[in-house]
Chain A
């Protein structure tokens, strides 16, 4: 056993050393996602979305007459590994453009490598505002940072008639960013801000925080967390008899999973989301949405994953469009082309606007944000 393992690893190491760049038959796109570790579920969804995009593009003849090839690597939900994966994708696989790396700390760890090797990356999920304001000209983000999300929410906030809100957010860049940006926006609107409570990433029992919020005098709670924690929160809020209005943000909610797992507890909750797989005709690109959703179902994935995986789909289509526009699989040409593309994404047009210090701006697109409500175990558009 032992010897076999050793031999296997030695062979692996040797082949890895010998195989520098593979054949030039395909155009490679690097995918740097968490497939194991804390974010395994989300990273896997994004990769599955990415595969749909690649297959679709290849079925239509590929890009520049060549097939595209996704080089998918697991960053183990670990920043050090995310940087190492970027190193591998760029120097070993010679990918001229990459997509990654889900969480903000993972993306932040990759960013120095982009500067070092001058290779652009499409950021599909990370929400820390820092990513596009640090002056890294190789970053092109299609997901909305919390300030973009709060700006979109500003347009509908008046109709909700909020008076005083509490926040319950996951204790990471995403949750903290949301509490800051939404708080500022609401204060400017004359809405009072009450408690700002946090929960650890991975915490399972939020009864203490919820009990505190239950006893406060606000009527609405803004919640930012990934789907698993949201499910638990709704169940626990119901168990505590908390009757406040809950609005979730972040676009990572998977309302279907919430309905399936939290049951009646999810009724009456509202969610700010960036993709509407339930209502293809309400999306900016109904045809593509219908195709994506049907393909997703055909491959046997859980429908609930759509709200996560569409970002992988959009990310790869963005990268492919840039390669097409550049006319060659060259990092610098692709970087320049990313500024010029206009992709019909599943949640709006992907057009990059400049963000960050002059001369070395990052790209940020402005996706649409929708407010949906769960009523009687079904997802409904919130209408006013």
Chain B
């Protein structure tokens, strides 16, 4: 049932460009899709380990900058007379580097900050994102600071025997984002259903118990942070090569807020949550744009968020999966809290 639903959803998303030729909406879908990938990675931390990262945009931005710099090349001086000159590599290499460097940052942040939990973790992640933003802003020699990195090439993949395929058009980029999103979804799904995923949820539900049965807290949480940061870096890389300019604004707090909204409103801890929440809150501004004044659009956006959470405090997808069986009058033995989330 779940498999059929997933295949149907992917097929529906894949068919979009066949009946939707409007480039503006396609553009909105691509940027939304990129943020949905970011939201999925945030969900891995927030929904499955219970750690709220309010600095998740840092990994996104690091991915974007690493990918852009790898494919543009740079020449930067370091202390002690060291000079690093990097010749441009392909955008695909940029993508790989983005994932690796973001994952490494995820490892460091994970190691350092899982010593603190809850509110403290939130603040460490915010602080981390702000420090990274200020470095991007002030290390002008490397990042060009506020002058922005421009002329970032579009993503391209070298196919053996077929030459280089460049993702130039919106259609190409749409399928690229969709492909990466599906791959990330599968990766996360696999991870949370593995024994590591069970360990994560065990920690979230009852840490003392989890530790007593031999779960290595730091290792489990760090793994989640590494995978989450890597995926978020991948999203950042897609962003850089699609938008083609990157400046420190990419680290704006509102971008983290957008991802958190996608996850929590969609339903944290449910795999489909960030996708559903992401599509709704990513496309809502597009729908609101023609009908009301700019300020009113934001008010409506905030109000919609409050209303959704009042009706469905645990998010859209968990609420739907809870209501659906009731509607069909199928009485199941009362499910546990976790059971609902898993079924999504």
User: Which A residues have a C-beta under 8 Å from some C-beta of B?
Assistant: 1-2, 5, 8-10, 12-13, 15-17, 35-36, 73-74, 76, 78-80, 83-84, 87-88, 91-92, 104-105, 108-109, 111-112, 128, 130, 134, 171-173, 175-177, 198
Contact = CB atoms under 8 A, between A and B. Distances in A.
Given A84-B27, A84-B31, A88-B24, A9 B287 contact: yes
Looking at chain B's contact residues, the main secondary structure is: helix
B161 interface: no
Contacts of B333: none
Interface string B111-147: 0000000000000000000000000011010000111
Nearest to A73: B289
Contacts of A35: 294-295
B22 interface: yes
9 contacts: A5-B304, A12-B289, A12-B290, A35-B295, A79-B249, A80-B31, A105-B245, A130-B148, A134-B150
A80 B244 CA distance: 10
A172 B146 contact: yes
B150 A83 contact: no
A74 B146 contact: no
Interface of B: 22-25, 27-28, 31, 137-138, 140, 145-148, 150-151, 243-245, 247, 249-250, 252, 254, 283-284, 286-291, 294-295, 297-298, 300, 303-304, 307-308, 311
A105 B148 contact: yes
Contact of A36 (B140, B286, B294): B294
Given A87-B23, A130-B147, A12 B247 contact: no
A83 B254 CA distance: 17
A265 to B, nearest CB: 28
Contacts of A16: 286-287, 289-290
Given A80-B31, A111-B150, A176-B140, 14 more contacts: A2-B308, A2-B311, A12-B291, A13-B286, A74-B297, A79-B250, A87-B23, A105-B148, A105-B245, A108-B245, A108-B247, A109-B245, A111-B245, A173-B148
Contacts, number: 107
A190 B25 CA distance: 56
B243 A83 contact: yes
A91 B23 contact: yes
Contacts of A91: 22-24
B171 to A, nearest CB: 13
A109 B295 contact: no
Nearest to A5: B304
Given A79-B243, A79-B247, A171-B138, A5 B307 contact: yes
A173 B147 contact: yes
B137 A171 contact: yes
Contacts of A8: 291
B245 A112 contact: yes
B93 to A, nearest CB: 21
A111 B23 CA distance: 16
A104 B254 CA distance: 19
Contact of A12 (B25, B140, B288, B295): B288
A173 B286 CA distance: 29
A160 B244 CA distance: 43
A197 to B, nearest CB: 12
B284 A9 contact: yes
A79 B147 CA distance: 13
A36 B292 CA distance: 13
B55 to A, nearest CB: 18
B252 A92 contact: no
Given A104-B148, A128-B147, A1 B307 contact: yes
Contacts of A36: 294-295, 297-298
Contacts of A79: 243, 245, 247, 249-250
A112 B154 CA distance: 11
A91 B21 CA distance: 11
Nearest to A83: B243
Across the A-B interface, give the 6 residue pairs with the lowest CB-CB distance, nearest first.
A74-B294, A9-B287, A172-B146, A35-B294, A12-B291, A112-B244
B146 A171 contact: yes
Contact of A2 (B146, B247, B307): B307
> Which of A15, A79, A128 gathers the greatest number of chain B CB atoms within 10 Å?
A79
Contacts of B286: 13, 16
A251 B25 CA distance: 37
A92 B22 contact: yes
Contacts of A78: 249, 252, 254
Nearest to A106: B249
A178 to B, nearest CB: 12
B147 A5 contact: no
A99 B138 CA distance: 30
A5 B300 contact: yes
A85 to B, nearest CB: 9
A139 to B, nearest CB: 12
Contacts of B245: 79, 105, 108-109, 111-112
Contacts of A104: 146-148
B27 A87 contact: yes
Contacts of B297: 36, 74
A214 B307 CA distance: 52
